[in-house]
Amino acid sequence: MGNCFTSSKQSMTEIAPCDFIKSAQVFQLYGDPISSFTLYLHLALLYKTRALQFTPTDDPIPVVQFGPETVSGSREMMVRFIDEKLPQPPLMVAVEEGGETAVLVVKMVALQHRSVVWHLERMVRWSEDLVTRGGRRNGDPTMGSARMEARKFGKSYSQLLEVMVEHAQMEERVVFPLLETAERGLCKAANEEHGRDLPVMNGIREDIKSIGVLETGSHDYREALRNLSTRLKIVAVQCKPLSLPEVPWFHQYYMAAWAIIMCIRERSKEHFQEEERDLLPLMEALELGKDQQLRVLEQCIDVMQGTHSHLFSFFVEGLLPREAMQYLDLIISCKEEKLVTSMLRRIIE
């Protein structure tokens, strides 16, 4: 799962919320390697231990063994067993008052907010680091040359933007129309905020992509960087009053990138907080039945195709282990086995 299950050296900007010192205690997992149930437990155990031993079997019901103890049963029972044996990091979600009756799509939207905010925070840290270094190499071999790091930065930015765009589309096509059926105009402000920041972010992504194909040091490359630096600086100042010092243009590019990402982070956090405080609780008033909730949940997942396919590992990277397991529980509740298996494989492999 991205940075969570690797032992390679990491930049401080790359550390995910699930990075921690794992136990060396041995867990054994037996089960069908193409079963979503087995893969779900495989993921749970990867969060816990560096010493997972997996033995493929034809049994549709997986078995987990820890020392002399063996357990087989429901997903909840087996994850609880794993948590009891190795409490950190916790995988079971403590149910808050009223949490059991919370609308499923509200849980999903809130978890998506958590991931997006974490990735925005990471991009801010990364751009701050680039500003400090003036774009020079940081000595981390996993980042490669300065140009390689710039490409990685651009890729992460593009991945985050794709998740954010799909999240906004999901709200606009599924969540907001439901709320608007109860009260017209209820989501007007939220829709306007989507239309404010995402086009700006998309324009910057296209500029970064165009720079990436130019020859380093060429006249066109330098000119493109100057233009992007100017654009970022203008947008950054519009977003938040700040003063960017007079420094070389290549340094201004990184400073402006940091300023605009920091601005978008603050706007997004405020936007998400407003949604979770003012809009999402109103979903309860719609009194959707369980079957209706599952259909809405499925529609949300279908709208966010990229997030739940090639970007799923990236998305889950921004969640705590218990949040990732909770998100998977939501998906399992409404999607077919084949899709769930594919998504789990993307994280584990």
- Residue 161: C-alpha distances to residues 54, 175, 247 (Å): 36, 20, 28
pLDDT given for residue 167 in this prediction = 96
Domain count, the chain: 2
Choosing from 33, 59, 85, the residue where a domain stops is: 85
Q: Who's near 228: CB < 8 A, 6+ residues apart?
A: 204, 207, 208, 211, 253
The answer for 287, left when phi > 0, alpha when psi is -120 to 50, beta otherwise, is left
| Beta strand extents in the chain (DSSP E only) | 23-31, 49-56, 63-66, 69-71
Task: Tell me, yes or no, whether 155 and 281 share the same domain.
Answer: yes
Q: What per-residue string of b and e applies to 211-241 under the rule 16 or more CB within 10 Å gives b?
A: beeeeeeeeeeeebbeebbebbbebbbebee
Q: Is the pLDDT of residue 59 over 70?
A: yes
Task: Tell me, yes or no, whether 156 and 45 share the same domain.
Answer: no
Which has the higher per-residue pLDDT, 93 or 235? 93
- The CA angle 40-46-48, to the nearest 5 degrees, is 115
Query: What's the pLDDT tens digit per position in 3-14?
Result: 455 443 344 344
Task: Tell me, yes or no, whether 117 and 66 share the same domain.
Answer: no
Q: With bands split at pLDDT 50, 70 and 90, how would you rate the model's confidence at 195? A: confident
Let me know if residue 16 belongs to a domain.
no
Task: Tell me, yes or no, whether 58 and 120 share the same domain.
Answer: no
pLDDT given for residue 11 in this prediction = 47
Q: With bands split at pLDDT 50, 70 and 90, how would you rate the model's confidence at 173? A: very high
Task: Tell me, yes or no, whether 29 and 117 share the same domain.
Answer: no
Q: What is the 3-state secondary structure (H, E, C) of 270-331?
A: HHHHHHHHHHHHHHHHHCCCHHHHHHHHHHHHHHCCCCCCCCHHHHHHCCCHHHHHHHHHHH
- Residue 233: C-alpha distances to residues 214, 252, 309, 346, 348 (Å): 22, 8, 34, 37, 40
Q: With bands split at pLDDT 50, 70 and 90, how would you rate the model's confidence at 1? A: very low
Measured from the Cβ of residue 294, the count of other Cβ atoms closer than 10 Å reads: 17
Task: Tell me, yes or no, whether 31 and 66 share the same domain.
Answer: yes
Task: Tell me, yes or no, whether 28 and 112 share the same domain.
Answer: no
Q: Is the pLDDT of residue 319 over 60?
A: yes
Let me know if residue 227 belongs to a domain.
yes
Let me know if residue 112 belongs to a domain.
yes
Distance CA 311, CA 325 (A): 17
The answer for 67, left when phi > 0, alpha when psi is -120 to 50, beta otherwise, is left
pLDDT given for residue 157 in this prediction = 86
Let me know if residue 56 belongs to a domain.
yes
Q: Is the pLDDT of residue 345 over 80?
A: yes
CA neighbor of 186 nearest in space, from 53, 77, 279, 318: 279
Task: Tell me, yes or no, whether 31 and 79 share the same domain.
Answer: yes
Task: Tell me, yes or no, whether 184 and 331 share the same domain.
Answer: yes
Task: Tell me, yes or no, whether 44 and 119 share the same domain.
Answer: no
Let me know if residue 247 belongs to a domain.
yes
Task: Tell me, yes or no, whether 156 and 285 share the same domain.
Answer: yes
Let me know if residue 13 belongs to a domain.
no
Kindly state the average pLDDT of the residues 172-196. 86
Q: What is the pTM of this model?
A: 0.84
Kindly state the average pLDDT of the residues 194-201. 71
Q: Which residues on neighbouring strands pair with residue 69, listed in sequence order?
A: 66
**C-alpha 184, offset from chain centre:** 31
Which has the higher per-residue pLDDT, 242 or 86? 86
Q: With bands split at pLDDT 50, 70 and 90, how would you rate the model's confidence at 328? A: very high
Choosing from 52, 85, 118, the residue where a domain stops is: 85
Let me know if residue 11 belongs to a domain.
no
- Give the count of alpha carbons within 13 A of 229, CB side only: 19
Q: Is the pLDDT of residue 188 over 80?
A: yes
Does residue 250 contact residue 225 with C-beta atoms inside 8 Å?
A: yes
Which of 189-193, 213-217, 313-317 has the least mean pLDDT?
A: 213-217
Task: Tell me, yes or no, whether 200 and 237 share the same domain.
Answer: yes
Which of 29-33, 101-105, 338-342 has the least mean pLDDT?
A: 101-105
Kindly state the average pLDDT of the residues 96-125. 83
Q: Is the pLDDT of residue 249 over 60?
A: no
Distance CA 46, CA 89 (A): 11
Query: Residue 62 is part of a domain; what is its CATH number?
Result: 3.40.30.10
Q: Who's near 131: CB < 8 A, 6+ residues apart?
A: 251, 254, 255, 258
Which of 106-110, 155-159, 233-237, 280-284 has the least mean pLDDT?
A: 233-237
Let me know if residue 93 belongs to a domain.
no
Q: Is the pLDDT of residue 145 over 90?
A: no
Q: Is the pLDDT of residue 191 over 70?
A: yes
Q: What totals of helices (H) and strands (E) does the chain contain, helices first? A: 12, 4
pLDDT given for residue 340 in this prediction = 94
Whole-number average pLDDT of the chain: 81
Kindly state the average pLDDT of the residues 87-108. 75
Choosing from 57, 85, 113, the residue where a domain stops is: 85
CA neighbor of 14 nearest in space, from 111, 123, 105, 113: 123
Q: Is the pLDDT of residue 71 over 90?
A: yes
Which has the higher per-residue pLDDT, 164 or 99? 164
Kindly state the average pLDDT of the residues 22-47. 92
Owning domain of residue 143: 103-337
